[in-house]
């Protein structure tokens, strides 16, 4: 516990020291929101989105940006780099366990995701009148499960990739797919219906986030699928993870 | 009583036998060298000792404990510097040492260690910005920050320039003088000759010799050669009659005597007895390099 606390503090310092990554992780979704929000027509209620504005409709997809960046991109490449450079192994020679470093990275990933989501929700509310999530409990649940599913997938990538290069080779397509089905590249109403429906079930489950944000409780099936992905990818990662 | 005992250690990676049969014992307070060509199984051997790898056969005992079963205890008491192990780019020297010090019950003072290792003006420098020698010294510092009883150092000076290498040697001697037992893996013969009290030469997963560096040289490559120009003619028989001498050759005015044992003493005594002065006298002895070649059939990498 003692070692974990010290490792977390040191890793947090390193995280804060890498300013470009930090700013992108936390600020990019909000930046996109602001750029879109500056276009007047996107701030007008539109029947295409059940009378919401495009900005409201699109905000959950912007949550996907950070989740995908941190979960399937940053986390696995940091862990793979630590393994490749022997950082995990060196730790294994000390009384601290390398798992403490993995846990610290998870905590930092969560902190980044949380900071980014809060910033997005608050700016959306204050600048563009996007209401706070109407179904807070459902939203929190959908967010937690979606995050867990993506972080588990990230850990699975870190587990099976032996090198940083291999981790990136797996992470990049996974990232693109996550972003695509999350409706980041093309807003979901422009996607063919079948693609949008698939996106309901790919992590982080953008439809559940949208439902809870705009008022209804998320569908149990959507949440259950995220939980299944989180648990199975997490178990796979735990089984396959190599410290060297 | 030895602090490390390895008996008939065996370790495979799939079909490849990395360590075939290694037995050795390291005594408290010595610098013990593990020598051998690349791929001989040196790293695998010391990693089994450090508890990082599970042997397929044989026994390992460290400070009377089992590296796997008593891992938690041994990690407090054994410091390890792994071959090719780095740190995060942005981590600073002092941060690294303070973090690692916090893992141990009875750590060294990081600030003191930083000064001792000559990193005093680098304490706030990021790992990425350190030179090869500085990285290596930091790595040694991390292996020592827990105040270990045993330090295992794998390829300590590989990649360092000659000056940095010499500085590192001085440092290792200091560490030994403070009472730490050191296991030093190396393929530099000069390093082993200078630092080690005893060395084990490993080749293809087996110990092919185990002795002090001087002992190894005198048993494996005992040949010595003396060259001189005599002030007066010398009868060959005067020299060949000596039990230490195996051959006498002449090149021009120079006499070349080869032999073993106290060759120099024997030759100079007999010359003195005949009032012959040996001008330009030179003694050529085998080095650990020669012994290494004899033992393994490889030239040591250098
Ligand atoms: N993790 C590993 N997996 C497979 N083979 C390995 C591994 N580590 C070492 N080897 C092989 O085992 C042999 C001994 O390696 P090593 O102990 O590193 O030798 P040395 O340190 O003497 O150069 C080499 O042939 C090496 O390629
Ligand atoms: Mg090696």
Q: Which residues pair with B16 in a beta bridge?
A: B13
Determine contact: B293 vs chain A, CB below 8 A: no
Classify A2 as helix, strand or coil. helix
Q: Give me B68's structure tokens.
A: 């796997």
Tokens 């303070």 belong to residue: B98
B5: nearest Cα among B64, B47, B54 = B64
CA B232 to CA A118: how far, in whole Å?
Answer: 99
State how beta strands B78-81 and B224-230 pair.
unpaired
Q: Which of A13, A82, A93 sits opposite B52 (nearest CB)?
A: A93
Q: In what order do the strands lie in the sheet with B245-251?
A: B245-251, B254-259, B224-230, B278-285
pLDDT digits (tens, 9 = 90+) for A191-243: 999 999 999 999 999 999 999 998 889 999 999 999 999 999 999 999 999 88
Classify B279 as helix, strand or coil. strand
Q: Which residue of B has its CA nearest to A14?
A: B90
Best to test chain B binding among A95, A164, A242 (most B CBs inside 10 Å): A95
- Kindly report whether the global pTM for this prediction surpasses the value 0.95: no
CA A10 to CA A214: how far, in whole Å?
Answer: 39
**Are B287 and B240 within 8 A, CB to CB?**
no
So what's the pLDDT on residue B300? 65
B11: nearest Cα among B40, B39, B41 = B41
Which amino acid residue places its CA nearest to atom 11 of ligand 1? B18
> Could you give the C-alpha distances from B30 to A11, A188, B149, B196, B255, in angstroms and in order?
37, 70, 11, 8, 41
CA A159 to CA A239: how far, in whole Å?
Answer: 8
Q: Please determine whether the domains at B2-218 and B223-285 fall in the same fold group of CATH.
A: no
Closest Cα in chain A, distance from residue B283 (Å): 46
- Of ligand 1's atoms, which has the minimum distance to the CA of residue B44? 17
Determine contact: A165 vs chain B, CB below 8 A: no
Classify B295 as helix, strand or coil. helix
Residues in chain B where the model's pLDDT stays below 70: 300-302
**Are B189 and B292 within 8 A, CB to CB?**
yes
- Return mean pLDDT, chain A: 94
CA B148 to CA A106: how far, in whole Å?
Answer: 31
Contact A13 B76 (CB under 8 A): no
Pocket of ligand 1 (CB under 6 A): B 13, 16, 18, 36, 38-44
- Residue B248 has phi, psi (to 5 degrees) of -130, 130
Angle among Cα B1, B6, B9 to the nearest 5 degrees reads 170
Least confident span in A40-54, A101-115, A168-182: A40-54
Which amino acid residue places its CA nearest to atom 7 of ligand 1? B13
So what's the pLDDT on residue B53? 95
Res A183 pLDDT > 70: yes
ipTM: 0.91
CA B8 to CA B290: how far, in whole Å?
Answer: 27
Determine contact: A242 vs chain B, CB below 8 A: no
CA B18 to CA B39: how far, in whole Å?
Answer: 8
Candidate of B41, B49, B292 to mutate for ligand 1, largest count of ligand atoms within 8 Å of Cβ? B41
Q: Give me A156's structure tokens.
A: 């699975």
**Are B245 and B259 within 8 A, CB to CB?**
yes
So what's the pLDDT on residue B56? 96
State percent of chain A over pLDDT 70: 100
Diameter over CA atoms, chain B:
74
Candidate of B12, B15, B16, B48 to mutate for ligand 1, largest count of ligand atoms within 8 Å of Cβ? B16
A243: nearest Cα among B125, B47, B179, B39 = B47
Q: How many CB atoms lie within 10 A of CB B284?
A: 12
Q: How many CA atoms lie within 13 A of B21 on its CB side?
A: 2
Beta carbons within 8 Å of B188's beta carbon, 6+ residues apart: B157, B158, B165, B300, B302
CA B49 to CA B20: how far, in whole Å?
Answer: 15
CA B271 to CA B283: how far, in whole Å?
Answer: 15
Q: Give me A132's structure tokens.
A: 């706070």
Domain ranges of chain B: 2-218, 223-285
Q: Which residues pair with B283 in a beta bridge?
A: B226
pLDDT digits (tens, 9 = 90+) for A63-112: 999 999 999 999 999 999 999 999 999 999 999 999 999 999 999 999 99
State percent of chain A over pLDDT 90: 91
**Are B172 and B153 within 8 A, CB to CB?**
yes
Which amino acid residue places its CA nearest to atom 1 of ligand 1? B13
DSSP codes, A167-191: HHHHHHHHHHHHHHHTTSSS-GGGS
Is domain B2-218 given the CATH code 3.40.50.300 in the classification? yes
CA A160 to CA A192: how far, in whole Å?
Answer: 33
Calculate how far, in angstroms, residue B300's C-alpha sits from the geometric centre of ligand 2. Answer: 14
> Could you give the C-alpha distances from B198 to A155, B157, B178, B251, in angstroms and in order?
46, 18, 18, 38
So what's the pLDDT on residue B268? 92
CATH superfamily of B223-285: YebC, transcriptional regulation domain (3.30.70.980)
- Of ligand 1's atoms, which has the minimum distance to the CA of residue B45? 17
CA A18 to CA A13: how far, in whole Å?
Answer: 9
B205: nearest Cα among B9, B15, B19, B13 = B19
Does the N-terminal peptide bond of residue A204 adopt cis geometry, omega within 30 degrees of 0? yes
> Could you give the C-alpha distances from B180 to B32, B127, B152, in angstroms and in order?
11, 27, 10
Calculate how far, in angstroms, residue B183's C-alpha sits from the geometric centre of ligand 2. Answer: 13
So what's the pLDDT on residue A1? 63
Which amino acid residue places its CA nearest to atom 4 of ligand 1? B13
Q: Which of B75, B90, B142 sits opposite A17 (nearest CB)?
A: B90
So what's the pLDDT on residue A122? 97
State how beta strands B278-285 and B224-230 pair.
antiparallel
Residues 83-122 of B with CB under 8 A from A: 84-88, 90-91, 95, 99-100, 102-105
Closest Cα in chain B, distance from residue A84 (Å): 9
First to last CA, chain A: 23
Diameter over CA atoms, chain A:
62
């Amino acid at each position: 516990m003692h070692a974990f606390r010290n490792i977390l503090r040191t890793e947090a310092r390193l995280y804060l020291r890498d300013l470009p990554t930090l700013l992108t992780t936390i600020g990019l979704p909000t930046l996109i929101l602001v750029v879109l929000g500056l276009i007047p027509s996107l701030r007008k209620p539109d029947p295409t989105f059940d009378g919401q504005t495009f900005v409201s409709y699109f905000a959950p997809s912007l949550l996907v940006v950070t989740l995908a960046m941190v979960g399937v991109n940053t986390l696995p490449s940091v862990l793979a780099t630590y393994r490749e450079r022997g950082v995990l192994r060196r730790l294994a020679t000390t009384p601290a366990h390398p798992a403490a470093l993995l846990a610290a990275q998870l905590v930092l990933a969560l902190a980044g995701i949380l900071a980014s989501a809060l910033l997005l929700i608050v700016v959306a509310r204050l600048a563009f009148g996007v209401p706070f999530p109407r179904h807070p409990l459902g939203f929190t649940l959908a967010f937690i499960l979606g995050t867990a599913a993506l972080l588990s997938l990230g850990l699975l990538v870190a587990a099976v990739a032996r090198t940083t290069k291999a981790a990136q080779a797996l992470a990049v397509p996974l990232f693109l797919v996550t972003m695509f089905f999350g409706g980041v590249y093309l807003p979901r109403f422009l996607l063919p219906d079948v693609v949008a429906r698939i996106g309901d079930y790919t992590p982080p489950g953008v439809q559940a986030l949208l439902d809870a944000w705009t008022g209804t409780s998320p569908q149990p099936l959507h949440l259950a699928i995220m939980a299944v992905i989180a648990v199975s990818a997490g178990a796979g990662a735990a089984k396959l993870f190599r410290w060297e | 009583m030895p602090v490390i005992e390895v008996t008939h250690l065996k370790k495979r990676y799939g079909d490849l036998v990395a360590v075939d049969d290694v037995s050795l014992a390291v005594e408290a307070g010595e610098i013990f060298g593990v020598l051998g060509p690349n791929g001989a199984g040196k790293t695998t051997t010391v990693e089994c000792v450090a508890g990082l790898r599970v042997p397929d056969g044989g026994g390992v005992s460290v400070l009377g404990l089992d590296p796997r079963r008593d891992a938690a205890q041994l990690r407090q008491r054994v410091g390890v510097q792994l071959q090719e192990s780095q740190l995060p780019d942005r981590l600073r020297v002092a941060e690294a040492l303070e973090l690692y010090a916090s893992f141990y019950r009875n750590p060294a003072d990081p600030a003191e260690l930083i000064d001792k290792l000559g990193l005093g003006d680098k304490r706030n420098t990021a790992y990425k910005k350190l030179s090869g020698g500085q990285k290596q010294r930091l790595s040694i510092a991390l292996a020592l920050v827990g105040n270990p009883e045993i330090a295992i150092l794998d390829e300590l000076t590989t990649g360092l320039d000659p000056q940095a290498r010499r500085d590192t040697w001085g440092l290792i001697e200091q560490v030994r003088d403070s009472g730490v037992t050191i296991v030093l893996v190396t393929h530099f013969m000069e390093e082993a000759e200078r630092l080690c009290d005893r060395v084990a030469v490993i080749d293809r997963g087996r110990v092919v010799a185990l002795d002090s560096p001087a002992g190894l040289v005198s048993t494996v490559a005992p040949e010595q050669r003396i060259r001189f120009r005599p002030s007066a003619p010398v009868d060959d028989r005067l020299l060949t009659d000596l039990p230490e001498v195996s051959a006498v050759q002449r090149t021009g005015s120079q006499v070349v005597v080869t032999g073993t044992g106290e060759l120099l003493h024997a030759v100079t005594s007999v010359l003195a007895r005949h009032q012959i002065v040996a001008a330009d006298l030179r003694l050529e002895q085998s080095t650990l390099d020669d012994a290494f070649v004899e033992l393994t059939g490889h030239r040591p990498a250098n």
